[in-house]
Amino acid sequence: MIDKQALTQFIESQLDGTDMFLVEVAISADNEIKVEIDSMQPVDIDACIDLTRKIESAFDRDVEDYELEVGSAGLTSPFKVVRQYEKNIGNPVEILTTDGRKLKGTLTDADTEGCEIEIQQKVRKEGSKKPVLETVHERLPYTDIRQAQYHLEF
């Protein structure tokens, strides 16, 4: 089986100095390798092909047989690393929390500890019969997020 740590370090070294970053390396029991990359800009197919060739030249298939797939994180893929949160600051997101809440709003900040989302929330003002929409900022540590992704609206 391919050494996941060695493969991960190799990929990160190949992406170093570019605006691309590693999202995930998954290796199945059958030695099927799936590499997911992302970038602050759209990742084109040529970048995936180039990385595939570099991996294949460094990890000889005659020594260790494997199947390799290199792709970019899709628009609707869940965020897996902090840089994906940073990339989506200012964009609409949907976050499912560990306590079961579903938040839809604009991602306003992200750092190594967590992120902040701006949401519209109905609030009943004192003396008012009807609730009004109010903009609220909520800070969430990553440990409280079950899933976060770009929110597409049609």
> Which has the closest alpha carbon to 69: 7, 148, 150?
7
Token match 């949401």: residue? 119
Query: Is position 90 within any domain?
Result: yes
Structural domain total, the chain: 2
Structural domain span for residue 97:
82-150
With a CB cutoff of 8 Å and minimum separation 6, the contacts of 36 are 22, 23, 24, 25, 26, 71, 72, 73, 77, 80
Residue 143 CA neighbour count, 13 Å, CB half: 1
Domain end: 72, 93, 116, which one? Answer: 72
7: helix, strand or coil:
helix
Q: How much is the pLDDT for 131? A: 86
The confidence score (pLDDT) of residue 74 equals 85
Q: What does the pLDDT read at residue 95?
A: 97
Q: How far apart are CA 151 and CA 81, in angstroms?
A: 17
Residues 138 and 118 occupy one common structural domain: yes
Distance CA 146, CA 98 (A): 5
Same domain membership, residue 131 and residue 91: yes
We report the CATH number of the domain holding residue 136 as 2.30.30.100
pLDDT for the residue 116:
98
Q: Does residue 19 lie in a domain region? A: yes
Question: Which residue stretches of the chain have pLDDT < 50?
Answer: none
**What digits encode the pLDDT tens for the residues 59-80?**
998 888 999 999 999 888 999 9
**pTM given for the model:** 0.87
